Amino acid sequence: MTPTKYIDRPIPTISLHEFDARVDEITSELVDAAENVGFFCVIDHGISRETVDSIFDQSARFFSQDDTTKARVPFSPQHNAGWEKNAQIRPSTGAIDRKESYQMQFGAGMNGRWLDEDSLPGFRQKALDFMHQVQGVSEKLMKCLARGLNFAEDHFIKAHDVSRPESQTVCRLLHYFETPKLPNPSGEVFHRAGAHADWDFLTLLFQKAGQSGLEICPGREVSTSFGYGDAWTKVEPDADKNAIVCNVGDLLMSWSDDRFKSTFHRVKAPSEPEDFYGERYSIAFFNQPCTDAEIQGPLKKYPLVTGGEFTRNAMNRNYKALQEKLKKEEKSPSVVTQARISVEREAI
Ligand SMILES: O=C(O)CCC(=O)C(=O)O
Ligand SMILES: [Fe+2]
């Protein structure tokens, strides 16, 4: 196996300390990070490490339920919410990610998709409290990003109003399974999250100390392209600084006329001795626009679309890329069928 090619790229760390007084400085740091790397770490964001640790405890509590219990809140493609296991296939790998995830939303999309209080007392309220805190940090970043693009300060905040029934914002709890250590006799690759770009506006990711694996590969020029390079940079969890890893998604790339970069990233399939093979937990908060939000960049590079249309277009593009990949690799029809189901399910 050829060793992974790594290069060092600085990933900016941006402090939100004294946000109101420093908003100009923070805006220019954010714009610089969004234009050049697409990934940045946010610190001094106001969510305590205890809060983050306690939501990870809730996540472990959810995933430790047996599969029959979790299957009572199955993933719904229509609502982009609920639990799924070994179901997501990325066009970059043509194979399933070895993980389970539980996607939560703020509103009606969750009807029937919360586990009942008897199974998991207190879970729902704790999850929603956390999601509101992350929404608060997201709104600070949205304010700066809007200023950076000369939109009204509340332009992105209004489009991502989580109190409206049209909200599509998702908080995804992720649990990657332990991977067998080398040598792996079957030669099978255990993908965790195959290389992809996110479709949303901005992703805020929480990681656990020591559970590495996230890697990025910048260099994409337009939000509609699929290509990526072959040199990776590790984004290690920084629990001491309680950093939130943020990345620009395709929606913000297109909303900025491709000025801000939505960067390819993955959770590496552990395959080299120094990789992390253990079970891994992470939490991704995907800021998604309301279905009726109107999306167009200041230079009008792309035609105006609604939040609903943007998501549909992204899914269709993903589906086509996956079909091409599977055709090229002559995967069996059963894999294709499985993939079709899974991509239709995938909304991020
Ligand atoms: O688990 C992680 O660290 C990243 C997950 C991710 O990139 C995603 O779910 O889109
Ligand atoms: Fe991602």
| 284: containing domain | 5-179+198-331
Residue 189 domain flag: no
* Residues in a beta bridge with 101: 84, 174
Residues flanking ion ligand 2, Cβ below 5 Å: 198
Residue 142 domain flag: yes
User: Are 83 and 71 contacting, i.e. CB atoms less than 8 angstroms apart?
Assistant: yes
Can you tell me which residue has the tokens 């079957």?
Answer: 186
Question: Between vectors from CA 140 to CA 160 and to CA 129, what angle results, nearest 5°?
Answer: 70
CA 20 – ligand 1 centroid, Å: 30
Nearest CA to ligand 1 atom 3: 214
DSSP string, 89-156: B-TTTSSB-SEEEEEE-SSGGGTT-SPPTTTSTTHHHHHHHHHHHHHHHHHHHHHHHHHHTTS-TTHH
Residue 338 domain flag: no
3-state secondary structure of 19: coil
Question: Between vectors from CA 207 to CA 228 and to CA 209, what angle results, nearest 5°?
Answer: 120
| Phi and psi, residue 148, nearest 5° | -60, -25
The pLDDT score that the predictor gives to residue 334 is 56
Considering every ligand atom, which ligand is closest to the CA of 174? 1
Total domain count, the chain = 1
CA 206 – ligand 1 centroid, Å: 9
Residue 339 domain flag: no
Residue 340 domain flag: no
- How many Cβ atoms are within 10 Å of 217's Cβ, its own excluded? 20
* The dihedral formed by the CA atoms of 135, 139, 145 and 150, expressed in degrees to the nearest 10: 140
Q: Which of 11, 203, 235, 287 to mutate to test the pocket of ligand 1 (most atoms within 8 A of CB)?
A: 203
The pLDDT score that the predictor gives to residue 338 is 53
State whether the beta carbon of 265 lies less than 6 angstroms from ligand 1: yes
3-state secondary structure of 193: strand
Q: Which one, of 288, 290, 292, 304, lies nearest residue 252 by Cα?
A: 288
% of the chain beyond a pLDDT of 70? 91
> What pLDDT, in 10s, does the model give residues 223-272?
666 666 778 999 998 888 999 999 999 999 999 999 999 999 999 888 88
Measured between alpha carbons, how far is 83 from 252 in angstroms, rounded to an integer?
Answer: 27
Question: 251 to each of 22, 213, 313, 325, 341, how far by Cα in Å?
Answer: 27, 25, 11, 24, 24
State whether the beta carbon of 282 lies less than 6 angstroms from ligand 1: yes
Instruction: For the chain, count helices (H), then strands (E).
Output: 8, 15
Residue 66 domain flag: yes
Q: Which atom of ligand 1 is nearest to the CA of 213?
A: 3
CA 170 – ligand 2 centroid, Å: 12
Q: Which of 41, 84, 93, 174 to mutate to test the pocket of ligand 1 (most atoms within 8 A of CB)?
A: 174
pTM (predicted TM-score): 0.93
* Residues in a beta bridge with 170: 286
Q: Provide CB contacts within 8 A for 282, sequence distance 6+.
A: 174, 176, 205, 206, 207, 208, 211, 214, 267
**CATH number of the structural domain spanning residue 147:** 2.60.120.330
**Which residue ranges in the chain fall short of pLDDT 50?**
340-348
Residue 233 domain flag: yes
Q: Which atom of ligand 1 is nearest to the CA of 266?
A: 7
> What pLDDT, in 10s, does the model give residues 7-42?
888 999 999 999 999 999 999 999 999 999 999 999
Nearest CA to ligand 1 atom 7: 266
Backbone region of residue 120 per phi and psi (left: phi > 0; alpha: psi in -120 to 50; beta: other values):
beta
Measured between alpha carbons, how far is 90 from 126 in angstroms, rounded to an integer?
Answer: 31
State whether the beta carbon of 131 lies less than 6 angstroms from ligand 1: no
Residue 211 domain flag: yes
State whether the beta carbon of 171 lies less than 6 angstroms from ligand 1: no
CA 266 – ligand 2 centroid, Å: 7
Q: Which atom of ligand 1 is nearest to the CA of 101?
A: 9
Measured between alpha carbons, how far is 322 from 90 in angstroms, rounded to an integer?
Answer: 7
Question: Between vectors from CA 70 to CA 68 and to CA 76, what angle results, nearest 5°?
Answer: 115
Measured between alpha carbons, how far is 253 from 260 in angstroms, rounded to an integer?
Answer: 5
3-state secondary structure of 262: coil
The pLDDT score that the predictor gives to residue 176 is 95
The pLDDT score that the predictor gives to residue 348 is 46
CA 143 – ligand 1 centroid, Å: 24
Q: Which one, of 261, 302, 307, 269, lies nearest residue 287 by Cα?
A: 307
